[in-house]
Amino acid sequence: MYGYHNKIARVNLAEGKVTYEKLSDEVIRGFIGGKGLGYYLIYREVPPGTDPLSPANKFVFAPGGLTGLVPGSSKVIAVSKSPETRLISDSSGGDAFGPKLKGHFDALIIEGKSEEPVYLYVHDGEVGILLAEHLWGRGNYEVAREIWEEHPQASIALLGPAGEKLSRIANIIYDTERASGRGGLGAVLGSKGVKAVVVEPGEKPKVANPGEFQRLWQSFYDEFATNPKYEHSRNYGTSDGLRSSASLGMSPAYNFSRPYIPDELASRLGGDEVKKYEITPEWFIHGKSCPIKCARYVEVEYKGRRIRVKPEYESMAMLGAATGVFNFPAVAYFIHLVNDLGLDSIAAGNTIAWFFEMVERGLIGEDEIGFPVKGFGDEEAEERLIKLIAERRGIGAILADGVKRACERLGRGCEFAVHVKGMESPAWDPRGRRTYALSYATADVGASHLRGWPRPHQLPNQGPAKELVPSMIEGRDESYITDMLGTCKFVPYKLEDLARLYSLATGEEWTVEGLRKRAWGVESIARIHDALDWVTPPFDDMIPPRWWEPESEGPAEGNAAFIDHNDFVEARSEFYRLRGWHEELGVPLPETMEKLGLPEFREDANKALEIIKKRIGA
């Protein structure tokens, strides 16, 4: 098929062997690439019940169907069974890794476990397995510099010390400033002994209609790069997000206890503050990369250390506002630190914010912690905790696996631990948007802000949540489609545009309806696999207690995430119904899998239904 190499590389670390397999057009048509292809491969090869940190788990890097082919299409999707949630989990990452991998393969599968540290070297359509003992234990910035000295044109997926120590909130860092951050996927690579994946430029796959494709490419690039309505995004990227979330009563400030904060406070971590420190590194190459650019380099000095980093909203909000630190140089340093150590900035910030609230409430003290912690706003303690988490040392050994396990191990504080199915919430409190908490509750990976935003923007008390479920599903499908195609959610393509571009790339006719059908199918197979594993939807598609607390001030004052519990249950049932899932059990119906053109999953859907019925009966 045009737009693909029809090739998968499989690295068996236990045997030290690499094999190459044909990827059929039939599988591509069914799952496209990126998230879709990754879920299909993990579903087929990692049975429910597999220990995520065992050699039996597998790891997939999958560029999208349009990765590297259209403006703003840098994404690679990392997919594995999450050691944090035990769900099939995916996390997208940017920079050059995805486009360069797309030049060689449509997916890279890593399986088994190496007895000694290794890194993978992808070049000329092949993968080499090289020893990495000299890199093990070192931070991502240092490792990247050393690898680039030998391979200056390569892009690198990096495993930090946190992943080596199997922290369940460890991530994958691309080229030092981008991440596949969620789900603790870094611990999977750590369990396999993989320190890095180094990818040289390859041969971009040919498109079916190069003339028209290039004309559209230029048209979209010019539109996104010059249209005044995208000026705010081009100027600030996501860095002004805290001012928006705070003004809506949706910020994560002080462990989600103050979703509304005044603009004066939010501005300390806002776009104009960030721009004071903005720089253009001397080695930065200008050219036709992303026309939006959601992040820019800044240079700050903090405690005598001068660092460069590319901050974005989620990292600033969770390592700053959530922990009560409103000092931008400090927060920029924390972002640099988690990037170097290989920690998910969202999960780390959420967990530390919860820990600070524990201190504020007097539920834990210096005798247990081992050093003084003041609570919210304690910069010294936050820096120390980040390092201890990555090292799995002292109190960090408890926090290293995320907020759910931490509160359970300590036996306290779970009522204000903000997560869904074990995954920490990102930086958008759903009490400021009607039906939005349903997106968190039902998302395939746990709490994710990238699984559908209901429209229009209304407060939960403005009407039944079920009324906005169709719009949430539309948003979820759109998110899946961009993750299958490898395009960025901040580049404002319409779905009709993506269908046209994908048709020109592949030489086959694609419609928005066809893309939505693939998204629906991928979500359904994820739900089947999770039900066969451990998820019992009526019990597990839930939200944390904090979001049942009404907001105390601001535009969402008096609003909890739903009008009441019945409002939530009705909206959830409506979501199940519209998805073609059992309205009470939340599992895809066998006939739905037939309707989606996935009859091979019908038997598993039926088996999942029976398993859930037995669990509930028990």
pLDDT digits (tens, 9 = 90+) for 102-157: 999 999 999 999 999 999 999 999 999 999 999 999 999 999 999 999 999 999 99
Q: Where are the beta strands (DSSP E) in 361-453?
A: 419-420, 423-424
Class of domain 433-489+511-617: mainly alpha
Helix then strand then coil, % of the chain, to nearest 5: 45, 15, 40
CATH 3.60.9.10 location in the chain? 7-199
305-309 vs 419-420, strand pairing mode: unpaired
- What's the CA gap between 553 and 544, in Å, rounded? 20
How many CA within 13 A on the CB side of residue 225? 13
Which backbone phi and psi does 55 adopt, to 5 degrees?
A: -60, -20
Please tell me the number of Cα atoms within 13 Å of 406 on its side-chain side: 35
Q: Are 199 and 331 in contact (CB under 8 A)?
A: no
Give the DSSP letter of residue 202.
-
| Burial profile 586-602: b = 16 or more Cβ within 10 angstroms, e = fewer | bbbbbebbeebebeebb
Residue 484 C-alpha from the chain's centroid = 14
Cα separation, 438 vs 575, whole angstroms? 9
Of 318, 300, 303, 186, nearest to 252 by C-alpha is: 318
Q: Between the CA of residue 545 and those of 399, 409, 418, 590, what are the distances in Å?
A: 20, 19, 8, 34
Asked if the bond preceding 456 is cis, omega within 30° of 0, the reply is: yes
**CA 356 to CA 351: how far, in whole Å?**
9
- How many other C-beta atoms lie within 10 A of the C-beta of residue 201? 14
Q: Which CATH class is domain 238-423?
A: mainly alpha
Domain span(s) for CATH 1.10.599.10 in the chain: 433-489+511-617
Contact between 253 and 261 (Cβ < 8 Å): yes
Question: Sheet containing 172-174: which strands, arranged edge to edge?
Answer: 126-131, 118-123, 194-199, 155-159, 172-174, 178-180
Cβ proximity of 139 and 161 under 8 Å:
yes
CATH 1.10.630.10: does it fit domain 7-199? no
Give residue 94's identity as a one-letter amino acid code: G
Q: Which pair of structure tokens corresponds to residue 209?
A: 């209609």
Residue spans in the chain of domains classed CATH 1.10.569.10: 238-423
Closest C-alpha to 283, from 256, 301, 308? 308
**Structure tokens belonging to residue 367:** 């005798």
Beta-ladder partners of 63: 76
| Six token digits for residue 269 | 């971590």
Query: In this predicted structure, what is the pLDDT of residue 294?
Result: 79
Rounded distance between C-alpha atoms, residue 311 and residue 580, angstroms: 40
Short-list 142, 148, 180, CA closest to 341:
142
pLDDT at position 67, please?
97
Q: pLDDT under 70 in the chain at which residues?
A: 282-289
Residues whose CB falls within 8 Å of the CB of residue 337, separated by 6 or more in sequence, listed in order: 383, 386, 387
Of 315, 303, 389, the residue nearest 352 (C-alpha): 389
| Listed residue (430, 419, 475) closest to 450, CA to CA | 475
